[in-house]
Each structure stands twice: as C-alpha cells, then as structure tokens.
Structure 1
Amino acid sequence: MNTPTSEMLAEKILRGVGGPENIESLTHCATRLRFQLHDGTKADQAALDALDGVMGTVPQSGDRFQIVIGGAVAGVYSDIMNLPSMTGGGTPRAQSDAEVKAEIRAKGRGRFAWLDNFFEYLSDSFRPLLGVLLGASLIIAIASMLDAFGIVDFRSADKSATWVFVDSMWRSVLYFLPIMVAYNAAKKLKIDPWVGATVMAAVMTPNFTGMIGSKTPGVTTTTNATLGTSESVAHVFGLPMQLNDYGGQVFVPLLMVALLALVYKGLKRVFPENVQMVFVPFFSMLIMIPMTAFLIGPMGIWAGNGLGTGLSWLNGNAPIVFAIVIPLLYPFLVPLGLHWPLNALMLVNINTLGYDFIQGPMGAWNFACFGATAGVLLLSIRHRESDMRQTATGALAAGLLGGISEPSLYGIHLRFKRIYPRMLVGCLVGGLIVGILGGVDTKAFAFTSLLTIPVFDPMIKYIIAISAAFFTSMALVYFSDYRTKEERAQVNDERDAAAAAAKGEVAVPAQTVPAEDRELVAVGAAPATATGGSASADSGAADVPAARKGLELAAPVAGRVIGLGEVEDPVFASRALGEGVGIEPADGHVVAPVDGELVTVAETGHAFGIRTTDGTEVLVHIGIDTVKMNGKGFDVRVEAGRKVSAGDLLAEVDLGAVRAAGYPTVTLMTVLNTADMASVEPHTGQDVTAGTPVVTVRR
C-alpha cells in the first residue's frame, strides 16, 4: 500500500515536468525515471532537484529528461502511472512530417545529438536486463564461494547433474543475452520487438549451432595449427557462410536491429495496413536472417574481437596504465550513461577469451564511490543530518550489496563538488594497486559488490585493491568534509534552528512563506512564529483565568481534522503561518469559520484572510499549491472588505478538479498572529461538520 508521502512525491514530480499534458511517454530503469517530454523547457529542474526523494535530474537532448530516484524508482513510477491524470500513460501527439522537421530545426539539438541517440540506444538495449544480470551474477558468486571453501569444484569438467543444473541457472542469462538485447533494441527503435528477437534466435538454434564442427554435407572445418583454433564454413545456396556460436554476443544484435529497423519501417510503407501484420514480419525475417548469418554476425564477431584484442593488448603491454585509466574513466562515464559499451566489451571478453580483465580495475572505481558515500554517512551521523543520513545509508546499501553506483552519484556526489576529487584519489589508489599486483580477472559478468568478491581472481589482490580504494575515499571525505567550512557552519545553524523551531522556541522567518501567500500574512501585525498548539497552551495556561472563555474557530469545511504536522507542506507544518488545523474535506462547501471582516480574498479563490473584532487574524487556505490552478474549479461567493458571520458561504470548490490537477485537497485554517495569543489550541483527530469548533484561541 502506497503511503501519502510517496503519492505526494508522484504528484510533485508530475507538476515538475510540466504536467501530464507535457509527457509523451514514461519508463524507468534501476534508479531513474525516464521521461520523453513534448517540451523539455517546461521541466522545472530546480524544483525537482529540491524534492525529498529525488536524488538528481539529468536533462538530455530531444526533450528527454531523467529523474534519479534510487531503489524506490519502481514504486514512484507506479504512483505516477496510477494518478488519474496519467490514465493514458502520457499524451502522444500526432504531427505531420513538416511539423516534425520544423520542430527539430527550431530546437537546434546541437552537433552532439546523434551521440546522445547512440548511447541512448545502447543504454535502453541493456538497461531492462539489469535485474537478471544481477541475479545471474549473484548465483555465480554463491557458486564461487562454495568453490573457494572447497565444498564443490565449480570449474570441474565432470560436475554432477546438480551443479550442471546450477550452471544453467546463470548461463541462461548470458547465453541468450543476444536475444534479449535484440528484443530491447527493437523496442527502442519502435519496431516489433519479437521480430528482432526471432531474427537473433534463428542463428542460435541447435540446428544452426549444430553445424559447427560437424560432418554435415556442405560444412567444412579447418584448424589453425598455430593458434589451435578451428573455423567452420557452411555453403548455403552455393555461398560460403562462416559459422559462429553467437551465445553471449552483444554487438551482433545491436548491429542487426539497427539495419532491421530500416527494413521493417520500409516494408510498412510498402504494404497496405490491413496486410502488414503478416507480410512485414515475414519479409523482415526472410531478409534479415540470411543477412545476419552471412554478414552481420561475422562482422559483429570481428568487431567485438578486435576491440577486446585492443584492450587486451593494452592490458598485457601496459597493465598499470590500463588499471589506472579504467577506474578514473568510469566516474565520468556512468553519470552520462556512456559506460554501456565497456559493459558490452566485458561480455565479449568472457565469450572470446573465457575471462574478462576490465571488471577488476572497474571494482576500484565502484568501491571508491561507495567509500566516499561511507564518509558522507559518518559525517551525517556526526553532525546529526537526518536527511543526508537516510540518503547515504540507502545509497551505501545499494552499492555494497547490489554494486549499483547511481544512488551514490546522483543522491550525493554530484550535488557536492568537493566529493569527486577525493573519490578520484581512491580510484587512482585502487587502480594503481591492481596494476602493480599484475591485474585481476573474472570468468563471469558480475556487479562489483561485496557479494561478488569471490568471482575475481586472484581474490586477495582484488580485496586489497578495493579496500584501499574504499578507505582512501572514505577517509578523505570524512576528514576534509564534503562541505566547505562556511557551508558546514550554515547547515549546522539551520539544523539547530529547525530543532528549536520544532520545540516552539524560534520564530520562522517570513522569507519561508511562499510568495503567493505573503499577502495573507499581512492581514495584520507581526509575522507568525513556529510556537503554537500545545506549546502555547502549556506556557500560557497558568496565566489565563479558568473562567475566561476563548474564541472558538469553527471548521470551514466538513471532514477529518488533522494536526499541521501531518500536512504535506513544510510551510504550514512548520507553523510559519501560525498554529491551526488541517481538514481532509468531505465536500467542497467552504464557509467562514468566525465572525469578522474579509481582509483578503485571493483572486484564485484558494485562500481567505479574516480579521475578527478583537484582532485575531485567521487564514483559510484550500488545498496545497492550488494557486497554480488559477481559479479553475473555485467558485468564489464573497469579495474583500465584506463582513461575514460564521457559517457564511465563502466558496464552492470542485474537489475532483483539484485532485485531477494533482494537488492535495486538505483545507488549512491557521491563526496568523499566533505570537500575540496566550494560546492557540487545535482539536484534532475528529470527524466534523462545517461549523464545529476545532480551534480555541485565548488572548
């Protein structure tokens, strides 16, 4: 069951990206919400960055916009998609070819837009597979630990059926990875993903792979005596076709789907719509399966082998340089999503060489990143920063147990410029140790976390390197702080002031009041303070004669009465606008809570300021952020300067319209000049009708 807080975050994110009408589509990955907007300039990046629960934002070309949430991203995505205004999942907009071209010219995406598209293609082809890749890596880690402790020979060629079956559990992901990548890549390019998967599967069937090294007529196999390798060629329709095992290959499906998209979309223009379902997939398969087997497959194998050989050469001839470059490169690649090609190369290495030499040095970067987060966590505990402590705890858990760096990067490191230089020192130290000790390899694709340490060989070298990277970054961040001395002093002062305000000891500055509500604070005298409620009642009760009756403020609307501390608005919750109550309305019939003069009536109809004859200043505020509705759904029945009596109708509000617009409907009533009162006593936790006393004010 979703909490009100998560639902509120979903509503605020929706407003921050320009509302549902500005969303063309929305997806998510392991840590990020990924929006395709109609107009990227409408996204309020500053407001989104300031939201609790948002770790950071990443605007991209082509009106793409990413919001980093962390491990809770799936829940936030679900909350957004369940909002009434998102029933359709976005608002795709039909445009003519001329409009599309004009829009592209007008936006001037820049000379690097093609690069954004290329890496977006790579990222979206792999990103949905993170879960199963992580699952497979943990299965390998468990098996490797059992092997390390001598319980089972994980690498034995004659393992029992039990361990052959365990092998199949993780090999299923890596072997059939090309089919999964083809599916995602085709989906990214907006063609039938099952056609992409089918084309790739055709060259991975037992029929195809069974010809390799076989005595099938038309198949010839030659052996390279020098290298000890063999190569099989099948003569199909009189043409030579190199046979390869494409299990685990990633370049082949990426190249294949890029060409398939052109063929598929071209065929859709050729065939009438009523026969496309049959003939477009048919001809796509008829064209692309031979194209993949004869040309794209061998090209992909050659390209992958070439890149792997190049990096292998660097690793073999300048291992220290290689081990240093990799961890220093990753901190700049990951935030931009440019690390996917290296991840692809890891898989190629495992398939061609039987091991990978990139992941060992990469582990130095990951653990340097997690070490910096640990330093921030220690500082947040030391300085009693509860929000940062929660953020750092979650990010560190995601890193050490899951090997995921994005929560640390977007939640902390990219927000504070002092962290990166210190983290890079940790990367350098870890990479240098890997290089000096002769490198670290692995035979599995593994997320570099504590749980996958056993898959690296030699394991002791890897542990030394990542430990050095972790503790170097942690020490540098902790002892030099991620804030400057001035920032630290300011943050600590704000922390102490907030703690004092929560105890009713400190006035809240008028600057904390939203601009649209400041005119309401000016109904009369001095600014409100955070003191109020039970604190005011306790401090002033002894001075007030028992026989002296206070002023009763009635509920302006029927509903459930709650304390201001339960309201999802920091200004009202802090009592910056005085002590009072919130009411979850049962209907939109809003009445005056007390006799007095209507000093202020907001043009948008969302707020009313009333001054009583004895000078009590009362604010009635309908909903949160409803000023942004510009009066839509608010039927105001009064005007400023008018005298009203308790129970007089102030406005009729369409609560359904407020909810549809994504705003909370809670109606708030506060005493603006709480500081001038002996006590302001809210009566919460009850269901009331309009006119029931809910606040007692004593002067």
Structure 2
Amino acid sequence: MSTDQHRATAAAILPLVGGPDNIGSIAHCMTRLRIGLHDRSLVDDEALRALPAVLGVVEDDTYQIVLGPGAVARVTPEFEALVAEGRRGTPPAAPPATATAPPPAAEPVTARQLAQRGAALKAAQAARNATPVKLALRRVANIFVPLIPALIGCGIIAGLNGLLVNTGRLPAVVPALAAIASGFMSLIAVFVGLNTAKEFGGTPVLGGAVAAIIVFPGVAKIDAFGHHLAPGQGGVLGALAAALLAVQVEKWCRTWVPEALDSLVTPTLTVLVAGLATLFGLMFVAGAVASAIGSFATWLLQYGGAFAGLVLGGLFLPLVMLGLHQALIPIHTTLIEQTGHTVLLPILAMAGAGQVGAALAVYCRLPRNRSIRTTVKSALPAGLLGVGEPLIYGVSLPLGRPFVTACVGGAAGGAFVGLCHQLGIAFGSTAIGPSGWALFPLLDGSSGMGLTVAVYAGGLGVGYLVGFAATYFFGLTRRMLTDLNAGPGSIPATEQQASEAAMA
C-alpha cells in the first residue's frame, strides 16, 4: 500500500470518529490504531467497519481500530498529521472513492446485525473489565506493548544468526548479528523502567536510571546479606518493581521539597532510595520470582504435556475476552530474557487456529447467507496472520456456539504442541506479538528449525481441523441454520437468547 493510500485510509477514518476536535490521544500497537475520544457518541461504528482497510473495531480503555500489522504503523502518522491539520483549521483531504464506506443500505442486514451484537458484547465486556485488577493489568500491558517491535526485530535477527551459525556460512557476519540481536535484550530492563515511570506518572528517565542498576556489571561486587548479586538478576520484573518504587519516592518528595530545591533534591533522593531498595531487596525477590516462572514453565510442559497445552490453548480466547491475557506479557518477556524464547506463546497461538477453523465451518454451513460469508472472507486473511478480532467480534462471538467450538479447536492444537514438548521437541517464540503464520520467523527450538517448524505447523493444522469439525457439527443448531440460511433478515430473539446462553 502506498503513502497516498495510507493517507486516504487515515482521511476516511478521521470524520467517522468525530473529526479532529474529538480526538484526545493517538497511539498504536502491533495491529490497532488506539484513539482516545472526547465524545464516544460521535463515532460511526458501522461506517468504520465498512472501510476496506479496517479489519474491525474494539472498544476498551481507548477506541481501537484494527488495521493489521504493518499497516497500522504507516496509517498512524498520517492520521496524526491530519488531526494536527484539522486543529489548525485545514480540512483533511477528501478520501478517494475507493476508501469511502459504502452506503449503509448496501450492507447485508445479517452482517450488520452480527456486527451490532458483537459491539454490544464488547461494550458489556468492557464495562465488566473496568475492575481495579484488570485496569492494573492494562497499565502493565502499556509498559510492555511499546517494546514489542524491538523484540520482534531482534528476535528475527537472532533466528537468522542462529541459522548462519548452524550452517557455518558468513562467519564474519555472525558477531555483528549477535551484537545487534542481543543489544536490546541486554538493556531491556532500562526500557521497562522508562515506560513504567511514564505510565504511572513519574519522570521516565528516573525510572530508567533506577532500572539500569539491575543490568550494571558492577553489581557483582556488591555483597548483600552474604550473597553477591548477579548483573541482570530480577530482570524485567525487578525493573518494573524498581521503577514503581521510584515513582512513589518521587511523588513523596514533591509533597515536601521546596520548589527552589526540587531539581536537586527530588531526583537525588529518588535514585538513592529506590536504588538502595533495589540492590538490597528487590533484585533478590524479583530474581526468585523470575526463576520460579522459568522453572514452572519448563516443568509444566515437561510433565503436563498434552493436558497443559489443552488447557492453555482452550482458555486463551476467554482470557482475551476477560482482559486477563495481559498478565501474561511480563511472563513472556521474562522467559525470553531467561532462555531466549517463550515456550508459552506457540501454544497460546493455537487459539487463533481454532478460531480460523470455526470461521471456515460457519462459511461452509451458511451457503445462502452472503453477508456472513463475505464477513468471513474479508476477515480470514487477518485471522491466518494472528489478528483474530474481526473473526471473533464479527462472526463467532455474536453467534455464540462457534466461539465455544473455536476454543475446542484451540485446545486440540495446544494439546498437540504440548505433547510434542513432553516428547522432547521443545521450542518457543523469540518475541511476543505475532501469532498464526506470522509466528514462523520467530520460532526457536533445541530440536532444529525443521522439526520445530513442522510441529508448530502441525499444531495449527490440528487447530484448524478440530475447530472446523466441532463448529460444523455442533456450532450451529438446526434453528440457527434455518434462520441464517433464509437470506438477509433478522435473527429471532429466541435464537439470540439461545446463542448467548450457549456462549455463557
């Protein structure tokens, strides 16, 4: 997609979210444009979903427009520029005809109803997710999500370097690639400290300064309570705790330090107090927790095998719905920091495979419902690449039963990968973020790349097949098939209640 097309997409989105004056904040993650809105009622959800470049919308603490990996990083700066122009009084350029939404009347009725039901379910879930624990998990996720692009880039370079080492090719290049791949990971604690302080209202550089203590080689000379520290001990968990403490110390200082002395006293006390607590407490505690996480993950797959994979793969979609999947981000990062990859992510990715299989079954079972089949076809490529929101909120979740059978497919794929781990074919992902087919370049294992890729592909295949079969035979009742195959029309209230009860 060219720059003009990215700008056209941004120009098409802007009026549908209320224009420049309705935008409070703009950010993006791996797949979504995240917008803070002043007035939610000004957003035209249906028109947004109808845009060719939009894969779906998700409402959470921000309004999130799913554009897909790659595209979102290019559309976001164009969107920011158009918002800035609009606030200066320059109207955004009108989007070309290919980027505008079709008139609502042209959209099939059934697809619109599914989208409305998906939006209602999302809104209800967002309200349930506004608990202190889940809000805290979101803030933790906000710390780690900005690090994902660097994790992906360094992970792929590390995989390429490993391939060169194993084949003995380009030996002169290997040290350079090793330095490029490892540099970020050696200092990831500093970036976690910066983002933590920023997220919780402190001065980012002070959070980074305290977190930097953890990776400083000189800590090996410190004897704390009869034990010598190791550089990196505690890792990202220690950095997170250290920066949180620094934020609290900084805020406490600002309550009593005179303004004339603030620039000298506050940063000094913040770094000193939080630094001492990090050296003589937090590094030990966080190090023990990080070691326990690594040991438990290894034990879980070594002895739990297929059962552990079944549970992880089957429950991941519900965890996403509940917002609890964000608690896994620091765990993934800790495992990557310890071993170079996270063994959990390939198993959790099987949930997306079950979702794809379920969507394909819905497509096959509804031959006369052009609207739902069109939704499936448009969302399927993104689903294969691990972007599951369009299929979840546009197809399976509003229908109810297919969401459950998609979880069954994810459980089967997870059980397959877990069984292979138990048999000694252990592998993981060198980065977090991608899923589905997009995870192949990030796979890393001790059994060789060929076998690793084969097992992961086998897990995806099992997830596709079981998700398809479970949905084909059990995902749609006779009443649902009759109503949904009758052509454009409404889903009866009794069937809506039945599907919602099945989902619950």
Q: How many residues were matched structurally?
A: 429
Residues 247 and 444 of structure 1: CA distance in aligned 2, closer, same or farther (over 3 Å): farther
CA distance in 2, matches of 1:420, 1:397: 17
* 1:243 CA displacement: 0.7
**Cα RMSD between the aligned structures?**
3.9
**Alignment partner, residue 151 of structure 2:** 133
Bigger share in helix: 2
* 1:79 CA displacement: 4.7
CA contact (8 A) 1:203 1:246 kept: yes
CA distance in 2, matches of 1:172, 1:410: 39
CA distance in 1, matches of 2:429, 2:411: 24
CA distance in 2, matches of 1:254, 1:87: 39
Match of 1:432 among 394, 406, 415: 415
SS of equivalent to 2:202 = coil
CA contact (8 A) 1:10 1:79 kept: no
CA distance in 2, matches of 1:431, 1:472: 11
**Alignment partner, residue 444 of structure 2:** 455
Residues 336 and 140 of structure 1: CA distance in aligned 2, closer, same or farther (over 3 Å): farther
Q: Deviations over 1:471-519 (max 9, x none)?
A: 33345557888884423432499xxxxxxxxxxxxxxxxxxxxxxxxxx
CA contact (8 A) 1:175 1:248 kept: no
1:411-490 correspondence runs (5 A): 412-439=395-422, 440-442=425-427, 444-446=429-431, 447-450=434-437, 451-452=440-441, 455-456=444-445, 457=447, 459=452, 460-474=454-468, 484-490=481-487
- Which range moves more in the overlay, 133-142 or 181-190? 133-142
CA contact (8 A) 1:179 1:197 kept: yes
* 1:284 CA displacement: 1.5
1:268-279 correspondence runs (5 A): 268-273=254-259, 275-279=261-265
- Which range moves more in the overlay, 371-380 or 109-118? 371-380
Bigger share in strand: 1
CA distance in 2, matches of 1:169, 1:405: 32
Match of 1:235 among 207, 218, 223: 223
CA contact (8 A) 2:13 2:48 kept: no
In the alignment, structure 1 residue 14 sits paired with structure 2 residue 18:
yes
* 1:405 CA displacement: 4.1
TM-score, normalized by length of structure 1?
A: 0.53
Q: Deviations over 1:536-572 (max 9, x none)?
A: xxxxxxxxxxxxxxxxxxxxxxxxxxxxxxxxxxxxx
* 1:327 CA displacement: 0.7
Q: Deviations over 1:92-144 (max 9, x none)?
A: xxxxxxxxxxxxxxxxx989621132111111011111212222232244345
Residues 370 and 146 of structure 1: CA distance in aligned 2, closer, same or farther (over 3 Å): farther
**Alignment partner, residue 112 of structure 2:** none
CA distance in 2, matches of 1:409, 1:139: 32
CA distance in 2, matches of 1:373, 1:138: 30
In the alignment, structure 1 residue 25 sits paired with structure 2 residue 19:
no
**Alignment partner, residue 193 of structure 2:** 182
Match of 1:121 among 129, 139, 148: 139
**Alignment partner, residue 55 of structure 1:** 56
Residues 235 and 59 of structure 1: CA distance in aligned 2, closer, same or farther (over 3 Å): closer
**Alignment partner, residue 68 of structure 2:** 70
CA distance in 2, matches of 1:415, 1:348: 35
Return 5+ residue gaps in structure 1 as ranges. Answer: 89-108, 154-158, 212-218, 220-233, 494-699
CA distance in 1, matches of 2:442, 2:368: 30
CA contact (8 A) 2:156 2:430 kept: no
**Alignment partner, residue 184 of structure 2:** 173
- In our comparison, the structure showing a higher alpha carbon Rg is 1
Q: Deviations over 1:122-167 (max 9, x none)?
A: 11011111212222232244345556xx5239xxxxx945323222
Q: Deviations over 1:429-477 (max 9, x none)?
A: 2122234444352265244444337524452433322221133334555
Return 5+ residue gaps in structure 2 as ranges. Answer: 90-126, 491-504
* 1:201 CA displacement: 1.5
Residues 374 and 206 of structure 1: CA distance in aligned 2, closer, same or farther (over 3 Å): farther
Residues 260 and 492 of structure 1: CA distance in aligned 2, closer, same or farther (over 3 Å): same
Match of 2:385 among 379, 394, 398: 398
* 1:340 CA displacement: 3.3
CA distance in 1, matches of 2:242, 2:392: 34
Equivalent position amino acid for 2:199 in 1? K
Residues 462 and 32 of structure 1: CA distance in aligned 2, closer, same or farther (over 3 Å): closer
Residues 390 and 113 of structure 1: CA distance in aligned 2, closer, same or farther (over 3 Å): same
1:38-437 correspondence runs (5 A): 42=41, 51-52=50-51, 53=54, 55-60=56-61, 64-71=62-69, 72-81=71-80, 82-83=82-83, 84-86=85-87, 113-144=131-162, 151-152=167-168, 160-208=171-219, 211=220, 219=221, 234-235=222-223, 242-246=228-232, 249-273=235-259, 275-352=261-338, 356-372=342-358, 388=375, 391-396=378-383, 398-399=385-386, 404-406=387-389, 408-410=391-393, 412-437=395-420
1:485-504 correspondence runs (5 A): 485-491=482-488
CA distance in 1, matches of 2:7, 2:325: 35
Equivalent position amino acid for 1:265 in 2? K
SS of equivalent to 2:487 = helix
CA distance in 2, matches of 1:165, 1:141: 13
Residues 469 and 351 of structure 1: CA distance in aligned 2, closer, same or farther (over 3 Å): same
Q: Deviations over 1:637-682 (max 9, x none)?
A: xxxxxxxxxxxxxxxxxxxxxxxxxxxxxxxxxxxxxxxxxxxxxx
Q: Name the % identity.
A: 21
